[in-house]
Amino acid sequence: MSMNRDFHGFNTVSNSNIPRRERKARQQRVAILSAFAVLALMLIIGVAIIISSLSEGKKGGELESNDDKYENSELMDAAKDIVYASVTLSDADVKKGTLVLVDREHAYSFPEDNTHLARIFTVYSAHADAKPYILGISEFMEAEALVNMDKLLTEYYKQTGDDNIVLNEAYRTYEEQDKLSIPAGHSDHHTGLGCTLKIVGADDEKTDLNEDPEAYAWIVANAHKYGFVVRYPESKTEQTGIEGYEYYFRYVGVAHATYMKANDLCLEEYVELVKNYSYDGEHLRVLGYDGKTYEIYYAAVDGDTAVKCPTNYNYTASGTNEGGVIVTIDITQKVTAGDSEG
C-alpha cells in the first residue's frame, strides 16, 4: 500500500525536488529552442517560396512579359538590326487581322470571300483513331485559329484522357447572328477567330465549359500557349460590355495572348495599351510562351497610310478595327529582304 502511495507521489510532485532556479533555466532554454525552431521553419518556407518563384519565372516567363531590357544580348543586337521600309496600308487593312475589335461600338467588316475560313470537320477528321474532342454546331472557323484550337483540345485530351469537350459555336454569318441578342454585324463570332467550348456531362447533356471547374481551369491555364484568351472575363464586363460569356475563347496569337494573360488584360485594354508604343518610340517587348521574342507597336491608319515595317524579320500587321494596326515582329530569326511575312 505504501509502495503505491510512494509511486503515486513520485509522479505528481517530482518537480518539487528540482530547485526553482534550475526549473526556470530549463524553461528559458526550452523557450529559446522553440523560438529558434520557429525561425528555422520560417526561413525554410521563405527559401522554398523564392525557389518556386524563380522556377516559375524560368519556365513561365512564358507568362511573364519582358521589361524594357533584353536578357539576351543577341536579341538586343537583333532589335537594333531591324531594317524598316514603308508599307502602304489602307482602311481595309485596319478591319482585318487577329486583333480586330468587334463589339457594339465596332462593327465587323465582312470580307468579299471566306477564304480565311476552314472547315472544322476537315481538321477534326485528321484524328484517325480516338477523337480528342466533340464537334458542335458550327461548320467553319478561321484557319489559323482552328489549327491552334485543335492543338489545345488535343493536348487537353492527352493530359487528362477526357474527350468530352465540345468545340461548339465558332463562325457565325450575319443572318445567323440576326436571330440572337447581340446585333448582327457586332458579334465577335463573325471573325471566326473564336469559339465557345462546352462539355458533355454524365447525363449526356451539354453545359458551358465553366460549369466544370476542373476542365475549365486547365483550358484557361493553357490557352495562351496556343494563342487564345478568354474574350469576355467576368471581371472585365465594364470594358467588354459582355457578361457571363467566359467560355468563349478568342485567338489573338501567342505573343499577345502571353502578355494579356500575364497582365490580366482583355482585348480592349490590350489594344489601348499598345497604342502607347510606336515605330519611332519605345516598342513593347514580349517573350512569348513559344520562346520567341517579339517587338510590338501601334500605327494609326487613316486612308492610305505609310507604316514602317521590317524587311529583314518576319512580322504581322493586324488591324484593330478602330483606326490602326498593331505590328508584331518576331526578332528571333532573321530572314532575307523580301521574305518577311506581312
**Can you give the pLDDT at residue 116?**
96
CA distances from 107 to 73, 182, 321 (A): 43, 11, 8
Tens digit of each residue's pLDDT (9 = 90 or more) over 302-327: 999 999 999 999 999 999 999 999 99
The model's confidence at residue 202, banded by pLDDT at 50, 70 and 90, is confident
Least confident of 24-28, 36-40, 260-264: 24-28
Average pLDDT over residues 38-52: 56
DSSP 105: S
Q: How far apart are CA 167 and CA 134, in angstroms?
A: 6
**Can you give the pLDDT at residue 39?**
65
Tens digit of each residue's pLDDT (9 = 90 or more) over 106-144: 999 999 999 999 999 999 999 998 999 999 999 999 999
Could you tell me the pTM of the whole model? 0.79
152, amino acid identity: L
Output the nine-digit C-alpha cell for 210.
465553366
Average pLDDT value over all residues in the chain: 85
Residues 6+ apart with CB under 8 A from 109: 92, 95, 96, 321
More confident residue, 215 or 22: 215
The model's confidence at residue 219, banded by pLDDT at 50, 70 and 90, is very high
Residues 6+ apart with CB under 8 A from 285: 65, 66, 67, 68, 70, 79, 293, 294, 295, 296
State whether the Cα torsion 86-90-92-97 is positive or negative: positive
Tens digit of each residue's pLDDT (9 = 90 or more) over 1-16: 433 333 333 233 344 4
β-strand pairing of 165-167 with 134-135: parallel
β-strand pairing of 134-135 with 324-334: unpaired
pLDDT at 105 over 50: yes
Q: Answer whether 294's CB lies under 8 Å from 64's CB.
A: no
Average pLDDT over residues 45-49: 53
